[in-house]
Structure 1
């Protein structure tokens, strides 16, 4: 008679499951070949699809809308010089509801930035360090950023004035927020949001991913700058050209230095001067210089 209870020190085997079969299954599982790596062509297709998804959720989508918008403006029967574009409109006549909408808009607009950084860090490498979005060189990044802001901003004002004079640029209202205690802080946050979204996605992320696809540096810089100009087309032909030039400078700087932080600083400074300055300058002064 056999004992149904396993003896001490011996392992029990479920009824009907031969020990040999379990051992063979365990050995097969442990020696199974790893999943094959994707082929280079499959990897390229995946990266290409990823780029389209990220752009479709962010500034690529904005570029498509801007193209439709400029087509609508050019066929509206009203000259561009007599049209206007508001960059930071009010969302509600009720101040605290307007504040809520503004903060929600800023927060959700930064989701593509988080997505791009997440995707760039897929292999455990810090995406922020990879594209230079860190605080390792605060003094140098600040100095370079302010210098780039001056390099782009001063000629940009002249280009805007020229565009208005020849009828290729709409009247840009940098802010239409009602005066409230939170107006300037929200405009500063909006300036930072735009800087992070554009520089991380259009410069850092796009350059890294197109580089993985073996695109030439010249083509990468051109694609980045044309994309930047395209989603500003709703402001007219002048801002398209101005942002195209800005894109060439910024993308080339990143190609050489692999740091996006100075670009974020420069873009934030430009936006703060435009947004907050517009909100603080009296309406009659804005009208006198063609900005109101």
Structure 2
């Protein structure tokens, strides 16, 4: 490597400004995009962030320290098994519709979906990169969670509190897919594309995206907030460098599938998970 030339690894931490989409110059169109962003995130993950903040404040006001409190991600929604199954599916449908809304708005705005990496041009590479991203985030993320819980700044997170039903694993997998689809579409593909159109720098957009991702995990405690900011910075920068969104959806889904299904199957046998 010639003297003074940047290393390939450091190159990934530098933003790469794409030629597409063009920055919107018309004031009326810019205002419409801002209004659209406010409406979309007020109805979806922004509202989830506010609810998570209020949940954390409630937890902090309780006499027990955070690490002696539990919060469950997938919980029963009805007493009758089949009714619970149906309600779980409606929650998954909501997540899928949130992601579909982001995809529709990008497409309706005249941006081809291949521009954000939602095409079938590189399925093998997207799969391999997704698995790599899952390993990069998942393994250190578990250690970070255990560390923050030991420090008393995170709740004990129960990935699944569902009863043992024939459909439990199916619902947990679908929930993981719904979460990954909604989050990566809205917080990365949709939000960062819109901020590019508004003329935001890549670094500023990345920071907003990562903090938003952290905000709707505040219900888990400060560890969940910080850990997901780190995930958001890594995932967001990957997308900014590659414009491949499928890899992020796959990586996120794999993390959640392992966490949800793995916990449901192993929680009774591995004490440190609880």
* Same fold, judged at TM 0.5 (above): yes
Aligned counterparts of 2:89 and 2:123: Cα–Cα separation in 1:
27
Q: Which residue of 2 aligns with 1:14?
A: none
Of 163, 172, 195, the residue aligned with 1:178 is 163
Q: Which residue of 1 aligns with 2:70?
A: 84
* Alignment CA distance shift 1:223-1:204 (3 Å): same
Q: Which residue of 2 aligns with 1:33?
A: none
CA RMSD of aligned residues (A): 1.4
C-alpha contact (below 8 Å) 2:134/2:251 kept by paired residues: yes
How many corresponding residue pairs? 251
C-alpha contact (below 8 Å) 2:184/2:245 kept by paired residues: yes
CA shift, 1:248, in A, is: 0.2
The 5-angstrom pairing of residues 139-150 of structure 1 reads 139-150=124-135
Report the 3-state secondary structure (helix = DSSP H, G, I; strand = E; otherwise coil) of the residue aligned with 1:173.
strand
* Alignment CA distance shift 1:282-1:252 (3 Å): closer
Structure number with bigger Rg: 1
Q: Which residue of 2 aligns with 1:191?
A: 176
Structure 1 segments, 4+ long, off by >4 Å, are none
Unaligned runs of 5+ in 1: 1-37
1:241 aligns with 2:226: yes
TM-score, reference length from structure 1: 0.83
Report the 3-state secondary structure (helix = DSSP H, G, I; strand = E; otherwise coil) of the residue aligned with 2:157.
strand
Report the 3-state secondary structure (helix = DSSP H, G, I; strand = E; otherwise coil) of the residue aligned with 2:108.
coil
1:231 aligns with 2:216: yes
Aligned counterparts of 2:118 and 2:136: Cα–Cα separation in 1:
21
Q: Which residue of 1 aligns with 2:34?
A: 48
Of 132, 136, 147, the residue aligned with 1:162 is 147
Unaligned runs of 5+ in 2: 1-23
Report the 3-state secondary structure (helix = DSSP H, G, I; strand = E; otherwise coil) of the residue aligned with 1:218.
helix
Structure 1, 116-125 or 88-97: larger mean CA deviation: 116-125
1:68 aligns with 2:54: yes
